[in-house]
Structure formats: C-alpha cells, structure tokens
C-alpha cells in the first residue's frame, strides 16, 4: 500500500481478518479505535511492524513529504466461513505475487519471499 504525502486511508475495520503492516519507507501516523473503546495514536517509520486486530477501526496518515510505503499481510485470506463481509478483503484487491515481489525488491527486501 502506498499513501502519498497529505493523504490517508479511510477509517475502517475488518470483521473477518487481522492485518500486519511492515513499513518499507516514509513516515506516517496510525489511529486505532479498539472494540473496547480505547483509542491509540502512534507514529510509523521504516522497519516498524504494526498489528491490526480484527474489528479494530484503523486509519493511516502520511503526514510527511515522502510517500508512506507499507507491505500488508492479511489473515485469513478472504472471509471466514459463515461470515458476511461488507468490505472486500485486501487479498481480493491486491492478490499478485509479482507486484509484491517488485515492491519488496525495490525496497531491498526481496529476501522475504
């Protein structure tokens, strides 16, 4: 995922998946609203790993002059059996191993695959 300077993701939650972000380059801010009512805000920088629990509203901001590049893992891939999802899973939006490898190679991280 690439967030250009001054841009951000919409505030949303995934009822059927949890996510893991690895910050490749750039800096930004994350906002989490947990199901129990807690709110957390924190900075993100290269080599940070961020865990997004299921049902946690989250939003990522790129508030720097350089784009924020984040590699995203999602588990499980797609929807859980018996659940109805209102939002397409990232695995349906970006399910391309070649794209992932190119992003990682450009960041000097090709060894991950």
Q: Residue with structure tokens 């990682």?
A: 104
- Residue 89, pLDDT score: 44
Query: Among 2.40.50.100, 3.30.460.20, 2.60.120.10, 3.40.50.970, what is the CATH number of 2-112?
Result: 2.60.120.10
**Residue 16 binned pLDDT confidence (cut-offs 50, 70, 90):** confident
High-pLDDT (> 90) share of the chain, % = 52
Global confidence as pTM: 0.68
The CA distance from 76 to 112, in Å, is: 19
- Residue 94, pLDDT score: 44
> From the CA atom positions of the chain, what is the Rg in Å?
14
**41 bridge partner residues:** 31
**8 bridge partner residues:** 61
Say whether pLDDT at 44 is over 60: yes
């Amino acid at each position: 995922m690439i967030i250009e300077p001054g841009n951000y993701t919409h505030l949303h939650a995934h009822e059927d998946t949890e996510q893991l972000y690895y910050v490749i380059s750039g800096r930004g801010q994350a906002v989490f609203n947990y199901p129990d009512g807690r709110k957390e805000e924190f900075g993100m920088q290269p080599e940070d790993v961020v865990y997004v629990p299921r049902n946690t509203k989250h939003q990522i901001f790129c508030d720097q002059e350089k784009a924020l590049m984040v590699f995203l893992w999602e588990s499980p891939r797609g929807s859980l059996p018996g659940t109805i999802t209102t939002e397409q899973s990232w695995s349906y939006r970006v399910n391309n191993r070649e794209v992932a490898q190119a992003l990682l190679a450009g960041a000097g991280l090709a060894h991950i695959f």
